[in-house]
A and B are shown apart, each in its own frame.
Chain A
């Protein structure tokens, strides 16, 4: 059994959409979970539907939503203070060092993050790359496992079958509640999925997809 799980993503809501079912499974087993959230999603385009936020109020609103979601998920959260959309332009090494500080402090046995290069949003890719780099910097015997999450449409073709597929149907209520805590974001997002030509009428499929959380086990070669 894992001793402590650290989840690393750049945006408030990545945790709820991405791996909240898995986090809930760990919490139900009594495993502590800490979410390291890179930014406050300051540049998000969704302002609620109908919109109630603006560019200047959004950071505080999303911070509150993040805290609400993490309360529902019963996980600790640390906000890292980077700025939305800019992570790929920062020094990867500095971010990795920053993250490594948390890893050395908390000593997790598992890190969950985005699969660099396969996570659609540049912040996801950059934060995932920094997270992998942070673990790589550690002594091989001290390294936690890394589960990398790919969300590209062609992930199966390019990466093959995921190593870990968690059925989170039993945790689905918690997951949906956590997603809904991100009130400024989820309405626009669901709308988008409903209308998307590349998810064609697949809203139900998307909901179905939310019932499984998939990860690739990261292999370190050095």
Chain B
């Protein structure tokens, strides 16, 4: 649906040129919810604005629905933009227009008659749950309601693509959740392709199918959300995931850790499991098969795209030989294992 090829954007800043996008290539499929995550200043807004050419890339190609955006004339570009909706962090609603008039705005721009506009807007207001607010001005709405108006407005021209620039960043956690649920719902019902940028991993985790991680204008990682979550390759992705998955080694334990095996010491390891493996009682198996004790230090189990996913930080104690056998057993299972280190026995009593 969207194909970006070797995209490059250089701004002429006050203190010389700023490379906001550096050779970014990615492809977004029809019907997908595609997340783009990065820290502040990473180039997220620049990237999404290059898709509808609010920002003209310095070099590279932008293909949307088979159309080369960069070669379009001004008039053709306006037509192409009508097939893409966009929502914003600060909603950008027209204060002098009611909810109904705001949602009808894209239709008005396209020259649709007043009665026709009302007919099209009503079901959209229903979709976003704002039928009772149709004649209210934006100033009287909450942030979440404003974003719902923004979404309805973006959908009015029946676009194929919805671009979301930090659509939930100005909202509280509960409202964020409801807006994300609405986006997911729209994606299901209308088969709309959604491109969403954010600096919050939980947004990606909640609704995205695929994610791209950008840092300093470069694409550092891209893949299915599940894969990036369970096996992040880049340091940036790992950082973002830490924010939503707590599998840190507690400080008290970290101080005692040794990277090399300690004779007669305990093994501390992290297990990540997903899908089928979650249903297997592997800890019971571990204890039954080997003469080891398992102490759970921390852990969580969650769902990613309806697939169970979890991490456990455990400490194994027993004879060195039994511990090594147990480790090999786990490595053979469908588990991702990571040895964190060793601690001297009795040096630490885990809670």
Q: Do chains A and B stick together as partners?
A: no
Q: Which residues of B contact A (CB under 8 A)?
A: none
Q: Which residues of A contact B (CB under 8 A)?
A: none
